[in-house]
Structure 1
Amino acid sequence: MISLRQKGFTLLELLIAITIFAIGLLTVAGMQMAAIQANMDADSNSVATAIAQGVLEDILSRSADDDIFGDTVADEPFALNAAAMANIRGGDRYEASYDITLNSPAPGMAQVRVRVDGGRTMTVQTRSVSLTGFKRL
């Protein structure tokens, strides 16, 4: 004789449990994609910032009578070291440019603005980083 109180789960209970489990897994997968995207954005920003710092340091380390401070062309391209650029993770391309404004913010000083464009992210094609420094002339 079969009792009416059998132990175990019904098919409906199993389907509901599997559905809840699947929704949880999909949520975790979505969070993983968001984390990968944020990591990729941060890496691209870090590389662009490091390049901009290197260019700014290169310009600021030159003597005050260097020809670079006599030319005040806006967005002048800066030739990046090809050997150093070959070691960038992901093979992204970066371009650097600079502006030099003489007698700014005070007489006898130069404002140097460096801009680096490039990199790749999942949400944005290129990343732009700008740094500003000052040189006493």
Structure 2
Amino acid sequence: MIIRMPLSRQEGFSLVEVMVALAIFAIGLLSIAAMQVTAIRGNSSARRLSEATSLLQDVAERVLEEPYVNTLTAYNVLPAAASYNVTSAPSYSQIYYKDIFPVDSPALDQAVAYTVSIYLQNPGDLVPPMPMIPTDALRVTVTVSWQEGGRQRNVPVSLLKSQNMESSYVSQ
């Protein structure tokens, strides 16, 4: 004896329900993949920023450790950039550069080219002058720059270096 059930009592999923569920699942997976790509890009950018900051700190410390009398002669003087307005520039300001960090260091991402710029300025040439800064002080601005995602990124820091402050910065 065969027992047949009416069609309205059959259980299961229709093909339309399965297709809708698969579409929702696929959209969820694609969203997770896009989120993962964004996270990887963010981590990569953060790594480069961290490397640049570490390089910046290393270069700034090396500049501060140089004896004050050798600071100006320790760097190769480069000509001022073409966009530099000479008429409004302080008279003692120059752009200096010295290769003080090995580019082939394993600590740096080899796919990224970091550029280090060192700018020395006599704060006495600032307008208006700053009376609280010693007259023998040098304002040292170190900038690390690199290309990322088709745009220029940079991390700058400015420091003061003076003969009177030198003993606290020079390691013995």
Q: Quick one: which amino acid aligns to residue 109 of structure 2?
A: R
Secondary structure, aligned partner of 2:94: coil
In the other structure, the counterpart of 2:54 is 50
**Count of residue pairs brought into register by the alignment:** 133
| Structure 1 residue 92: Cα displacement | 1.9
Confirm or deny: 8 A CA contact 1:52 1:115 kept in the other structure. yes
Residue 44 to residue 131, structure 1, CA distance change in 2 (3 Å): same
**Distance in 1 of aligned mates of 2:161 and 2:50:** 25
Structure having the larger proportion of residues in helix: 1
In the other structure, the counterpart of 1:28 is 32
Question: Please, which of 131, 136, 142 is the counterpart of residue 114 of structure 1?
Answer: 142
Residue 29 to residue 41, structure 1, CA distance change in 2 (3 Å): same
Unpaired stretches in structure 2, ≥5 consecutive residues: 78-92, 125-129, 164-172
Secondary structure, aligned partner of 1:111: strand
Unpaired stretches in structure 1, ≥5 consecutive residues: none
Secondary structure, aligned partner of 1:89: coil
1:62 aligns with 2:66: yes
Secondary structure, aligned partner of 1:8: coil
TM-score scaled to structure 1, two decimals? Answer: 0.84
Q: Rg: which structure is higher?
A: 2
Deviant stretches of 4+, over 4 Å: none
Secondary structure, aligned partner of 1:108: coil
Q: Point out which structure has higher relative CO (alpha carbons under 8 A, 6+ apart).
A: 1
Confirm or deny: 8 A CA contact 2:59 2:101 kept in the other structure. no
Q: Quick one: which amino acid aligns to residue 93 of structure 1?
A: A
**Distance in 2 of aligned mates of 1:38 and 1:90:** 18
